[in-house]
Structure 1
Amino acid sequence: MGPLIDEVDAAVIRVLHSDGRAPWPKVADELGCSPSTARRRFEAMHGAGMLRLIGRTDVARLGLGVPAMVQFTGPRAGDTEFLETLRARGDVRFLGGVVGSVGSVAEFVVPDAAALQKRIGRLSAEFDVSAEVFVVMHTYTSGQDWLPEAVERRVDVRSRELPRAQLTQAERTVLELLIRNGRTPLPELASAIGKSENTARRIMDSLRERELLDFRVLIEPEVLGFNAEFWVWLEVEPAHLGHVGEALARNEGTKYLAATAGRNNLVGQIVLPDHPDMYGYVTGVLGRIEGVRRVEILIQTSTYKRVWNMVVDGRYSEQSGPMEFLE
């Protein structure tokens, strides 16, 4: 199945992915159309739940919590009731149903590993599922940055993470609004913090300069004609983890990639045009990288949540999380 949008829609998405708060006249200039056409196209896609323009942030630096990927197994790991319960949780950032050795995959963001253990334990007891946890040590590339041919992929190969950031209450409020809607108008931001529009703009600019905020278009791969989405769980020799991570993060098929603690030390989400393309990826990409000891593949069959946005029948609805962790 090909893209569900036309070239004009795709062009609007590319421009906003690289400059999320661009004025509509600027967007129109790059597209060669009227500002009203550019705005109408975006609002139609947004209204249909085909996309969201979000504020991208770093949960670890903000003290929002520790990210961890979790595999759920058991007879109920793919049940609708279990998945809908997970989807509604504010500490779940991503959730998908998969086929393979497990029934579902979730990304949690929790205060610490001890809190995760307790929460997973309660879920396992309530739904009779088993869980294997992979705490994220380093993110090479985020799914929030994925959009083919839109912008150069952000790949983080730093050996040390950036220092923890301290936010004022006004900064937290502005960030919360922009995470939910990257195009929140300045008057609304100013009203929320009880300050002037100039102050709200300075706060937003400061967050961006400190690499605590950026703007991205969130869109389901199938809307753009990518119909094969799958997870790779790799066991990589420690001496090769850095170069394997960088190589895979720069591959055009990689949507998300992180180094993790656990049985597998590299976890990635891959997006390709069609399922037969998976064979070429496994043999031509994974098979040619030195240091990969073992590969596990889980094919994603459904998406329930993406970057805290609930997904219903392939369309975005309301958001659950993450700002309760800032309270």
Structure 2
Amino acid sequence: MSESVSLTELDRRLVAALQLNGRASWTQVARALGAPESTVARRGQQLIDSGLVGVTGVLDHLRCGLGISLMVRMRCRPGAANSVAGALADLPEARFVTVVTGSADVAAEVVVRDHHDVTRVLVDDLPCPDDITETESMVVVRKFSAVEEWDTGLLTPEAVALLRPDGARTGHREWSEPERLTEQEFAIARLLAADGRASYAQLAAACGVSESTAARRVESLVRRGCLRFRTLFETRLIGLGVEFMQWLSVEPGELENVGAQLAKHPSTQYVSATTGRFNLCLHGLLPGYGDLYQYLTDVVGALPGVRAADMTLQARTLKRAYVRINPDGTRERIA
């Protein structure tokens, strides 16, 4: 991201509002921020048009029976990490891809139909297998929190309640059978993937339905846990300059407890239980490098049953929520 990019205090609070509710109207956002609606609408749209901020609709693949998630760690031959990450990001199955520092060189989340597809995606479909010296893949078996649920902490509780009246977190396992989406629902989801703030009128016109029908379809998808909205932005814009992935090996009897504890921590964006050597994977954020030691000692060190902890720092993220991220931190437009 260009170092010249600087946001005002209103901009940062506006980004925080969209993180809470990416489809909130500018009227709602203005009310939550206590700012003039015309100013909020003008500046909010400028941030979106610049690519610094974006909103995308993402189908929950587990809820919809579309596949499973794998967290992948790769070691690469010297100098090959960027090319391997780029090749991974080109795969339609890749939801998240980042170059990291530490015990791995590249980390990714890949969504496949089932675990039998792992070899096809990570070996057969990658054009540079010789650049990868080691691969470790872990199936996500339980999600404790997701990035779209994260609260930046920049807004007052009253503002949060206005933007997210139903609470900060939604359940990830309050269902037993996957939902079966109609072709119309898939069409709406594709449109919202390209523009998560598309109006009901725009969705209706593109799908050939009434505006009220489009609204009902979207509301139904959200209520059933099928569709979630993700706000995309570089966190350093709001003062959180260190993105990291924490990989933990936890005693099985403490896994639920540790996952639930970490999900509540303000630095946590995402945490899930996985198979493999590390059975807990976390995405976190901190203001600066000086905060890492306290996090490792006071947060990770206080967790019960942790047998091993490994932290990798995100150096460059190429893909978030299936959306390609440019080297300057702006998002690529989805056709």
Q: TM-score, normalised by structure 1?
A: 0.89
Deviation at 1:46, TM superposition (A): 1.4
The alignment-based identity, stated in percent, is 33
Return the match for 2:218 from 204, 218, 222. 204
Which residue does 2:179 correspond to in 1? Answer: 165
Structure-2 separation of matches of 1:131 and 1:319: 30
2:324–2:331 CA contact under 8 A, matched in 1: yes
**1:154 partnered with 2:169:** yes
Contact 1:68–1:107 at 8 Å: present in 2 too?
A: yes
Offset, 1:8: 1.2
Structure 1 residues 31 and 144: alpha-carbon distance in aligned structure 2, compared to 1, 3 A threshold = closer
- The residue that corresponds to 1:106 in the other structure is 108
1:19-98 pair list within 5 angstroms: 19-75=21-77, 78-98=80-100
Q: Distance in 2 between matches of 1:224 and 1:43?
A: 17
Does 1:142 pair with 2:157? no
Secondary structure of 1:313's counterpart equals coil
Are 1:69 and 1:105, in contact at CA under 8 Å, matched by a contact in 2?
A: yes
Superposed, which structure 2 residues align to 1:205-220 within 5 Å? 205-220=219-234
Distance 1:144-1:311 versus aligned 2 partners, 3 A rule: same
CA–CA distance in 2 between the matches of 1:214 and 1:120? 27
**Which 5+ residue runs of structure 2 have no aligned equivalent?**
161-166
The structure 1 residue matched to 2:137, chosen from 133, 136, 144, is: 133
Q: Matches of 2:35 and 2:289 in 1, distance apart?
A: 36
Tell me if the contact between 2:89 and 2:318 (Cα under 8 Å) persists in the aligned partners.
Answer: yes
Give unpaired runs (5+ residues) of structure 1: 322-327
Give deviations 1:41-65, integer Å, cap 9, x for gaps: 1122112221112224412111232
1:76 deviates by 5.5
- Shift in Å, 1:153: 4.5
Q: Contact 1:78/1:103 (CA < 8 Å) preserved in 2?
A: no
* Aligned mates of 2:76, 2:329 — CA distance in 1: 27
Native 8 Å contact 1:48 1:315 kept in 2: no
Give the secondary-structure state (helix, strand or coil) at the position aligned to 2:284.
strand
Bigger Cα displacement from structure 2, 141-150 vs 266-275: 141-150
Q: Which moved more, 1:68-77 or 1:92-101?
A: 68-77
Deviation at 1:11, TM superposition (A): 2.6
Q: 1:20 to 1:229 in 2, by over 3 A?
A: closer
Confirm or deny: 8 A CA contact 1:82 1:127 kept in the other structure. no
Which segment is superposed worse, 34-43 or 19-28? 19-28
Cα–Cα, structure 1 residues 241 and 167, in superposed 2: closer, same or farther, change >3 Å?
same
Root mean square deviation, CA, Å: 2.4
Residue in structure 1 matched with residue 316 of structure 2 by the alignment? 302
Letter in 2 for 1:81: S
SS at match of 1:285: helix
Amino acid across the alignment from 2:131: D
Give 1:161 shift: 5.0
Query: How far apart are residue 35 of structure 1 and its match?
Result: 2.7
Distance 1:320 1:133, change over 3 A: farther
Decide whether the 8 Å contact of 2:19 with 2:150 is kept in 1.
Answer: no
Partner of 1:224: 238
Q: CA, structure 1 residues 201+250, in 2 after alignment: closer, same or farther (shift >3 Å)?
A: same
Cα separation, 2, equivalents of 1:32 and 1:250: 27
Q: Is the 8 A contact 2:147 2:269 kept in 1?
A: yes
TM value normalised by structure 2: 0.87
SS at match of 1:318: coil
Shift of 1:320: 6.9
> How far apart are 1:188 and its partner, in Å?
1.9
AA aligned to 1:86 is: L
Mapped to 1, the partners of 2:101 and 2:77 lie a distance apart of 13
Q: Secondary structure at the match of 2:143?
A: strand
CA contact (8 A) 2:94 2:109 kept: yes
Relative to structure 1, the CA distance from residue 156 to residue 194 in structure 2 (aligned partners, 3 Å threshold; closer, same or farther) is closer
1:243 counterpart residue number: 257
Question: Aligned partners of 2:277, 2:284: CA distance in 1, in Å?
Answer: 20
CA distance in 2, matches of 1:156, 1:209: 11
| Stretches (4+) displaced over 4 A | 150-153, 155-158
Contact 1:77–1:104 under 8 Å retained in 2? no
CA contact (8 A) 2:20 2:149 kept: no
Q: Distance in 2 between matches of 1:266 and 1:21?
A: 31
1:218 partner letter: L
**Residues paired across the two proteins, number:** 320
